[in-house]
Structure 1
Amino acid sequence: MQNKGLIKLFAILFGLVSLYQLSFTWFTNGVEDKAKTYAESKSNDGKEIAKLEGYYLDSIANKPIIDLGFAKFTYNDIKNKELNLGLDLKGGINAILQVSVKDILIGLSNNSKNPVFNEALAKATEAQKNSDKTFLDLFYNEFEKASNGTVKLSDPSIFGNKSLREKINFKLTDEEVKPIIEDEVTGSINTAFEVLRSRIDKFGVTQPNIQRIGNSGRILIELPGAKDIDRVERLLQSTAELQFWEVYSNQETANFFFAANNVIENFLKEQTKADTTLVKNDNLEDLLGEVSDSLATKKTANLFSVFTPSIPQSEDQISSVIGNAKVSDTAKVNAYLAMKSVRAQLPNEMKYIKFLWDAKPFASTDFTTNENVDRISLYGIKSNREDVAPIEGDVIDDASQEYGQTGKPEVSMTMNAIGSKQWGKMTTENVGKFVAVVLDDYVYTAPRVNTPITTGRTSISGGSMTVSEAQDIANVLKAGKLPAAAHIIQKAIVGPSLGQKAIDSSMSSFGLALLLILLWMIFYYGKAGAIADIALATNLLFIFGILTAFGAVLTLPGIAGIILTIGMSVDANVIIFERIKEELNKGKALKAAISYGFSFKGALSAIVDANITTMLTGIILYVFGTGPVKGFAYTLMVGIATSLFSAVFITRLLIDWYAAKGKKFTFNTNITKNWFTNIDVEFLKKRKIAYIISSIFIIIGLSSLFTKGLNYGVDFVGGRSYVVKFEKPMSATDVSESLKDVFGSAPEVKTYGASNQLKITTKYKIDEEGNHVDNEVQSLLYKGLKKYIPADVTLEAFKPGYGGVKTTGILSSIKVEPTIADDIKTAAGWAILGSLLVIFLYILFRFRKWQYSLGAVAALFHDVLIVIGIFSIFNKILPFDMEIGQSFIAAILTVLGYSINDTVIVFDRIREFANTHTTWKFSKVIDKALSTTLGRTINTSLTTLVVLFAIFLFGGDSIKGFMFALIIGIIVGTYSSLFIASPILYDSVKKLNKKN
């Protein structure tokens, strides 16, 4: 092997970098364990524990955790560099939002009352429930039918209105108006994406994921670790709004804050004397939210204990910032300033003041504790009775990121004619005063107006604004106020107790599977197996190092993908070792046999072909998959790349090093040295029996599919599914009957994992939208299960997202509306067809004969039909979830990858024998190829099955169906490479030769 030194250097550096990346995860876990211990020592309440953990981590966020002398890392630093766990391992929320194109069209039409327009909207809304077309296309179709040529889209009562008059006039035809409307809709959706990303970035979870889903108007958001589910839903579904307001100065509000401070101080003294709580007085129950019921006992003496007012001592200190507070204290400040007795201190001219916080906190030192804390500035907005801003975002024509006179990034804005006039008036009236630009009730800037601005141009700047932030704000402002809200059409909530259980069981199965593989390799290949184990351990280090370095999110299917690549890594070593053994048996010297085994003529050709076909499957899966499926594909692709490097290069380095010592080196043990030798099976003579057996299985499976069907999960049919935990084992039948009374029809109820956990799926009101419907379903579920749960478990504690260890209640929930279910099915179909097409073309390219491609693809069809048929036959018979969802599609595609991997290994040997033994009959070539690779086929299949069985038996309940599909697929895939792919190759070549 050439360039050994370079490869060795690369492997060492890569390993050190991987260890460095993973070290941050180790340190982060240590800090968070301390936070958890601290929180549990202070409280037993679930929500209080979550809060105390947050307070502890906030207090040390900017303290050095690692000090290397030349570099220091705070908790925030190492948190951003840790290995990110997905929703199923860490808990959190996954949501897909749909920006309502219907609402956008209504906004663009200025709430048109035109009957044709509204009829088209109503019919398009109904049609979308059973169609995968975009809402805009459906609207166009329905508008054309309803108008019958009598009304145009450019009609002044529809889109030819004042708001769009610069782009649309009544002379334009419908075909000319459509692209303009499409551009407006696209702009609104882009705005929604930027606004949502800004909100999510402020939410504070590690490595949030937000991405557009094509041009569908849908946005995927994942928030691992998020616990306040209600807050997340409010955050995601509120409408984005840009406003320009006049602002009070700190000079104007100074007296008010002193008066407010006195009122609050006296109020707290009275409360302490009366031994009552702040929350029960002054209508503060809703205002304070989760603020403790006994703030007075926590020594919050007055307003100024949580808020620092800005009191100017001279003219040059007059500012639009009227004070600041710790980010963690903003809820208290809001509650105090909302008290009726406090607002009564406002002078008449300020009675409509609205207090808004800055969009970005700033770092500050708390001199009482000498700790760094995040503080945030407060502004006093000059609102009015209607709370309507003088200027809103619809006046913005254009916005862009530029650099100001100081060289710092800023956002430059251009207004339309109406906006220019309004802006000129506002700035003229406020020379020497302040105006604020507010987005989603956050103040982005509130500068002093030095001179009137009559050109319709202005800018937003800030000392800490980055280029990317300026670009994001410009994108938001460019389209102006969002004319439609985004609503959640799919969400998955995973409670922390389920997440911890999942990660514990998955890690256990992972460790067990790895141990079994390591022991088997040593048992079967002796010293060579030990070397393969070292390469395998290095491969694992590389995989986790890459995932951490690139900020990937590890999920349960991702762990399955990693373990599957371990099996493929073992497969590569098995192929190499078997070829070396063959050469040794032929009488070759050790070094020559090793060199041949690692060469392209030896094992490398088959390894490369097998890995490329699996990699292509992974790419297709990544392109068409969403959420956990995409995560599985990513880890699969990373694992294939690292396993190929470790098996080919690291194993070679270690074997060459050991062989160079001149010691005896065999590739077997005394027990296994004669296994799978001198095998000569006439496989082709058994092909007709195999055809009959396969046909019987396929026919039975298809019959079950047509009569019994499949158990489609909520991914495909829509619905709401809940995993509910009870204190004791429950009867699924009894629970189903109890819930029939509240839902009107009996939901599907299954035991899910432990006997005290049930999976409950209902389609109750699935066509209706809104959080109120979700809350209604959960309330009905609580009502129907009331007799099975302890009396002290409240509805709030029963719902998902409740902190702490859950003994009873909803552990997780999934909601999918039918509109997205159709898209998931379509994407899954394209993924399978795409995989088959890509594999067919690659086999054709590598083997130069279409018969090889036909045999491979026929075997794949065979494997898919049998796996799907088994899932249909045994649905509701086997004691675990056999739903057909996204994870099942991932399993099918993985089976395709593994099966083609096995088939390619066999085909490679057939091609080799065909070129070497030109006098042999083609039937003998195939039988010999299958016989000589049988040892490798059985060895690899059994090793992989041991891994999968370990995960199936000891892994998380949520992937048992996924693992079962893989187990069946590996068994069937191994069978098909021997008895389907190769025989079909033979029969197609034989038939062609007869014709010729």
Structure 2
Amino acid sequence: MLYFSRWKTIFIWFTVLVSVLVAVPNLFSDEQLEAFPSWMPTKKVTLGLDLQGGSHIMLKIEQADIIKERLETTVGDIRAALREAGIRYTGLSGVGQQVQVRITDADKVEAAKQALSSLSEPVSVGGLTGGTIQEVTLQEDGTLLRFNLTDEGIAYRTGSALTQSMEVVRRRVDELGTTEPLIQRQGNDRIIVQVPGLTDPQRLKALLNQTAKLSFHMVDMSMPVEEAINGRPPATAEVLYSVDDPAVPYLIEKRSLVSGENLVDAQASFNQQTNEPVVTFRFDSRGAQRFAQATQENVGRPFAIVLDDQVISAPVIREPIIGGSGQISGNFSVEGANDLAVLLRAGALPATLTVVEERTVGPGLGQDSINAGVLASGIGAIFVVLFMLGFYGTFGVMANIALAANIVMILALLSLLGSTLTLPGIAGIVLTMGMAVDSNVLVYERIREEAKSGRSLVQSIEVGFNKAFATIVDANLTTLIAAAVLFFLGSGPVKGFAVTLAIGIVTTVFTAFTMTRWLMAVWFRWQRPKHLPKGVRTGMFDAQNIRFMAIRRYTFAVAGALSLISLVGFTTLGMNLGIDFQGGSIIEVKARSGQADISDIRDRLSELNLGEVQAQGFGDPASVLIRIQAQEGGENAEQSAITMVRGELEDAYEFRRVEVVGPAVSADLTKMATIGVAASLLAILVYIWFRFEWQFALGAIIATLHDVILTLGLYVFLGIEFNLTSIAAILTIIGYSLNDTVVVYDRMRENLRRYKKMPLDVLIDISVNQTLSRTVLTGSTTLLALIALYIFGGEVIASFTLAMIFGVVIGTFSSVYIAGPVLIAFKLRPETFQERDAEVEAARPVSGKVEA
């Protein structure tokens, strides 16, 4: 009977009530939430950078800097140790990861090895597990000693430098006063910095790019600087240039008087005499002492303030500076003085950080994306609600109540988990709305079948829910596997889409088997009906007896030909790869007034020598999408290209979105995308093989590969850009297609046990016809939701949604015309299930049986 205990009822509605309370804060502003009672939850869904604006920057630590510093340190240590031991040497030099030195006296080689033994001693790496590594190994060749920097030693130094860099980056970003920046480590040599709401990404990059190694040096007056440039400077000095335009050369002593490590504070202020912006600084006691001593000994001589190998200023020491403080002047702007103070307070980076990926969205575009997403979601929801009401009447009302609770639970879980909602995440919610009714449709159609077979309505409802349960779990688990792969192998918006989709699957199963069942139980006790509600109008599919398998050879041939054409197009024409996979830049700009002049933009950018530059209209007449090919010269060249474009267009155009992917990141993304699709298919194959027979698993994979290949063909022949969101689309199509296939297969498996002598092609036709109403209704609701997203969701996800629409159509086709014929081709027979049933029956203990 349809019975719910009191505690189950309380649990269901308590869950819904808590979900509403947790989701409600998303409807209010932060100022309004401050007035809420203290017991009320106030946590909101975290909006991704593509919705609220901001910058996502990936930094890579330059291992070459680590190696160079270790090499210089090792050379210095060898020189000091041999001098202290009184051992003469020659040819001390370092190249690559090797330092070599020749001992002049062969009898002193052993003494030299003893003096240098500390270099090759194991170094403790600390940590919870402890352990040691050897940073330097020694090779002896007569009087020539070679010291090699080990790879594991370099890796250890790189990891330590990355940890130190994260703290420096965190201090620098915090100094900007931004809200809730995210700074996290990725891999062994990268840092991700996400700063929501940032309006000036160029300033952030400038702060993060600078190593900020500050030092104070005396100016070498032993020879004119021009003579040092044209000839050979003293061994103890080097030529450095100022930050002026044009740059001024200085001959600077290599030995530093004081370094930035001794700074305890730096502030931007104004010179009281000239009213120019300056930076005041203060040393710690050790630094103050060394600075005072140096200035006392060199009154009347100029000294240089050097930042990252550039001379900021070179004042003359008029009198000893003994207070431990001073000021730096260098024709700063107010913002320049502030930024330098930030850099000095935060400390120096141990190595250069290079921007290898940048994704910046302006706040205006973010708000536009929110508006488009909300509009598309609302229209998609209306379509689904009306569709369910039209086909199911009273049952449709229950499904729509469950759908509303489903969406509220998704928002509540996103809020509780602190997950980030991105624009693809909104697409995930819209897709969930289309697919959420699938569980209800499966249940309703089962109930209708049981009622049609002669069962009472109450028995039909019970049996319908019980029979639909396994199908729903199987179908949704395949999509969940695809979502899990997306989460673990994806990044940024793709990961946000995966989280939303996975949460939607879990809440869908919950609402279908708790809320919908409870609503139906209440309706049954209240109305005491004898028959199905009159509003259920899916009986129109019952009279259908379509011979699907009769034309299987033709459909299989057409599908094979289309797949072959897609593969040929893929190998000959190639994909229109986005910057995620081949590197380069995408810039979306909007004219500050009037319409955009695309031809003028092309002309202006063609003069910058950036290679192939494309400019095309994007959305409204004022917006333009600019694509710049990957630049030769690595990661820094990509950033230089963006700077040049900004300088050329910023006066007339607002930069709404900037995406830059360097060659290192694009190679990693390509690798992870390939692994993601392969891993997803393998995991699903194993699951279906476990749940069904091997023929079913093979059929599901062949049907899915057909869908993937044709989707790739769509990208090839329409020239749609293939990027990270395209991978998300393909994996979701895999999940949806398998969802559909599993539902049909589940009915086939049931009928194989029921009709053991029926020819396989006839049995497949019966199974497809029995699930036809579910196939049409689920496909239609999903398509309606996706079409709303395509029309109203904005240009940014239009290609993503188009691929999804195409995937739903071909996924429905392949579930019938690919998955079915494969079973016939591989000779699936009922005997398989007869043998299994006999084994199960033989293993069952003998006992009295009570018929239902």
- Shorter-chain TM range is 0.7 to 0.9
Of residues 544-553 and 693-702 in structure 1, the stretch that sits farther from structure 2 once superposed is 693-702
Match of 1:967 among 780, 783, 805: 805
- Aligned mates of 2:589, 2:279 — CA distance in 1: 47
Q: Which residue of 2 aligns with 1:584?
A: 451
Q: Which residue of 2 aligns with 1:526?
A: 393
- Aligned mates of 2:136, 2:575 — CA distance in 1: 53
Match of 1:66 among 35, 39, 60: 35
* 1:778-793 alignment, distance < 5 Å: 778-780=643-645, 783=648
Query: The residue matched to 1:211 in structure 2 has which SS?
Result: strand
Q: Which residue of 1 aligns with 2:484?
A: 619
Deviations 1:183-208 (A, max 9, x none): 22222223333443454456554443
- Aligned mates of 2:502, 2:147 — CA distance in 1: 47
Match of 1:859 among 703, 728, 753: 703
Q: Which residue of 2 aligns with 1:233?
A: 205
Given the alignment of the two structures, is residue 21 of structure 1 paired with residue 22 of structure 2, yes or no? yes
Given the alignment of the two structures, is residue 986 of structure 1 paired with residue 852 of structure 2, yes or no? no
- Aligned mates of 1:776, 1:705 — CA distance in 2: 31
Q: Which residue of 1 aligns with 2:762?
A: 924
Match of 2:71 among 95, 106, 109: 109
Query: The residue matched to 2:722 in structure 1 has which SS?
Result: coil
Q: Identity of aligned pairs, percent?
A: 31
* 1:45-194 alignment, distance < 5 Å: 65-66=34-35, 68=37, 71=38, 81-110=43-72, 167=123, 168-171=135-138, 177-194=150-167
Match of 1:507 among 374, 396, 404: 374
Query: The residue matched to 2:23 in structure 1 has which SS?
Result: helix
- Whether the aligned pair in 2 keeps the contact of 1:353 and 1:383 (CA below 8 Å) is no
Deviations 1:392-439 (A, max 9, x none): xxxxxxxxxxxxxxxxxxxxxxxxxxxxxxxxxxxxxx9xxxxxxxx9
- Change over 3 Å in CA distance of 1:206–1:388 after alignment to 2: closer
Letter in 2 for 1:102: A
Give the superposed CA RMSD. Answer: 4.0
- Whether the aligned pair in 2 keeps the contact of 1:691 and 1:980 (CA below 8 Å) is yes
- Whether the aligned pair in 2 keeps the contact of 1:528 and 1:667 (CA below 8 Å) is no
- Aligned mates of 1:169, 1:516 — CA distance in 2: 69
- Whether the aligned pair in 2 keeps the contact of 1:730 and 1:755 (CA below 8 Å) is yes
Match of 1:934 among 766, 769, 772: 772
Q: Which residue of 2 aligns with 1:815?
A: 660
Q: Which residue of 2 aligns with 1:335?
A: 269
- Following TM superposition, by how much is the alpha carbon of 1:343 offset from its aligned partner in structure 2, in angstroms? 11
- Whether the aligned pair in 2 keeps the contact of 1:715 and 1:816 (CA below 8 Å) is yes
Q: Which residue of 2 aligns with 1:767?
A: 633
Deviations 1:619-678 (A, max 9, x none): 001111011000100111111111110111110001001101234376565582532113
Query: The residue matched to 1:864 in structure 2 has which SS?
Result: helix
- Aligned mates of 2:121, 2:350 — CA distance in 1: 17
- Aligned mates of 1:489, 1:667 — CA distance in 2: 62
Q: Which residue of 2 aligns with 1:211?
A: 184
- Aligned mates of 2:712, 2:512 — CA distance in 1: 33
Given the alignment of the two structures, is residue 830 of structure 1 paired with residue 675 of structure 2, yes or no? yes
- Change over 3 Å in CA distance of 1:688–1:187 after alignment to 2: same
Letter in 2 for 1:829: T
Query: The residue matched to 1:680 in structure 2 has which SS?
Result: coil
- TM-score for both structures, normalised by structure 2: 0.74
Letter in 1 for 2:203: R
- Whether the aligned pair in 1 keeps the contact of 2:760 and 2:829 (CA below 8 Å) is no
Deviations 1:588-630 (A, max 9, x none): 111111111111xx10111000111111110001111011000
- Whether the aligned pair in 2 keeps the contact of 1:489 and 1:816 (CA below 8 Å) is yes
Letter in 1 for 2:794: G
- Aligned mates of 1:744, 1:230 — CA distance in 2: 19
- Whether the aligned pair in 2 keeps the contact of 1:322 and 1:380 (CA below 8 Å) is no
- TM-score for both structures, normalised by structure 1: 0.64
Q: Which residue of 1 aligns with 2:251?
A: none
- Whether the aligned pair in 2 keeps the contact of 1:109 and 1:161 (CA below 8 Å) is no
- Following TM superposition, by how much is the alpha carbon of 1:985 offset from its aligned partner in structure 2, in angstroms? 2.0
- Following TM superposition, by how much is the alpha carbon of 1:731 offset from its aligned partner in structure 2, in angstroms? 6.8
Query: The residue matched to 1:491 in structure 2 has which SS?
Result: strand
Q: Which residue of 1 aligns with 2:590?
A: 725
Tell which structure's C-alpha radius of gyration is larger: 2
- Whether the aligned pair in 1 keeps the contact of 2:585 and 2:638 (CA below 8 Å) is no
Q: How many residues align?
A: 697
5+ long unaligned stretches in structure 1:
32-63, 115-140, 148-155, 244-285, 287-319, 324-329, 345-350, 358-378, 390-429, 431-438, 445-479, 786-794, 799-807, 876-881
Letter in 2 for 1:514: A
- Aligned mates of 1:764, 1:339 — CA distance in 2: 49
- Whether the aligned pair in 1 keeps the contact of 2:168 and 2:349 (CA below 8 Å) is no
- Following TM superposition, by how much is the alpha carbon of 1:991 offset from its aligned partner in structure 2, in angstroms? 10
- Following TM superposition, by how much is the alpha carbon of 1:824 offset from its aligned partner in structure 2, in angstroms? 0.5
Of residues 187-196 and 91-100 in structure 1, the stretch that sits farther from structure 2 once superposed is 187-196
Match of 2:193 among 211, 217, 221: 221
Deviations 1:270-304 (A, max 9, x none): xxxxxxxxxxxxxxxx9xxxxxxxxxxxxxxxxxx
- Aligned mates of 1:665, 1:561 — CA distance in 2: 39
Query: The residue matched to 1:918 in structure 2 has which SS?
Result: coil
Query: The residue matched to 1:222 in structure 2 has which SS?
Result: strand
Given the alignment of the two structures, is residue 892 of structure 1 paired with residue 757 of structure 2, yes or no? no
Q: Which residue of 2 aligns with 1:597?
A: 464
- Following TM superposition, by how much is the alpha carbon of 1:95 offset from its aligned partner in structure 2, in angstroms? 1.3
Match of 2:575 among 710, 732, 740: 710
Query: The residue matched to 1:950 in structure 2 has which SS?
Result: helix
Q: Which residue of 2 aligns with 1:944?
A: 782
- Whether the aligned pair in 2 keeps the contact of 1:97 and 1:489 (CA below 8 Å) is yes
Match of 1:685 among 528, 546, 550: 550
- Change over 3 Å in CA distance of 1:171–1:568 after alignment to 2: same
Q: Which residue of 2 aligns with 1:739?
A: 605
- Whether the aligned pair in 1 keeps the contact of 2:392 and 2:535 (CA below 8 Å) is no
- Change over 3 Å in CA distance of 1:585–1:67 after alignment to 2: closer
Letter in 1 for 2:772: L
- Change over 3 Å in CA distance of 1:730–1:863 after alignment to 2: same
- Change over 3 Å in CA distance of 1:598–1:863 after alignment to 2: same
- Aligned mates of 1:557, 1:538 — CA distance in 2: 21
Letter in 2 for 1:192: S
Query: The residue matched to 1:598 in structure 2 has which SS?
Result: helix
- Aligned mates of 2:279, 2:191 — CA distance in 1: 37
- Aligned mates of 2:814, 2:614 — CA distance in 1: 36
